[in-house]
Amino acid sequence: MSAESGSATAQLLDVAKEALERFHEVRVDDDGALSFRHGEVPCALQGVELSEGLEVLSLTCVVAWDLPAESDIPLRLAERAGQGLFGTLGAIRTDRGWDVTLRYVFPAAGLGVEAMGTLLMLVVSNASTLRTELLG
């Protein structure tokens, strides 16, 4: 990664931080990633240069964890994904049950604070809604 692309990614994260701080307390991690909580959903936002001139932000929300292993979580997530939402749902089965994530990667160049805030809140609101549905 060139210094110029690193600077572009850092600028995107600065805009995202400003946008998120309108709604949440935001922590800047040692690697420059942002972390915050939307209700009970922990989230992390990273900036990445996928290829020269294509900087993207990657948002990961941990929707739920340790859900019962014998539950129908993958089926429920497949049905929910079919309803159209921002992001990709993931289910990982561990020794303690299902862990569910929502990930959204998007090119963010040119987004201002308000547009960035709207987009990020759409994603994290979906994550919180899904958490409520899964924990019922």
In terms of phi and psi (left: phi > 0; alpha: psi -120 to 50; beta: otherwise), the region of 53 is left
Amino acid at 97: G
Contacts of 70 (CB under 8 A, 6+ apart): none
pLDDT in tens, 72-128: 999 999 888 877 678 999 999 999 999 999 999 999 999 999 999 999 999 999 999
Q: Tokens 């240069």 — which residue?
A: 49
* pTM for the full predicted model: 0.90
Of 3, 28, 4, which is closest to residue 17 (Cα–Cα)? 28
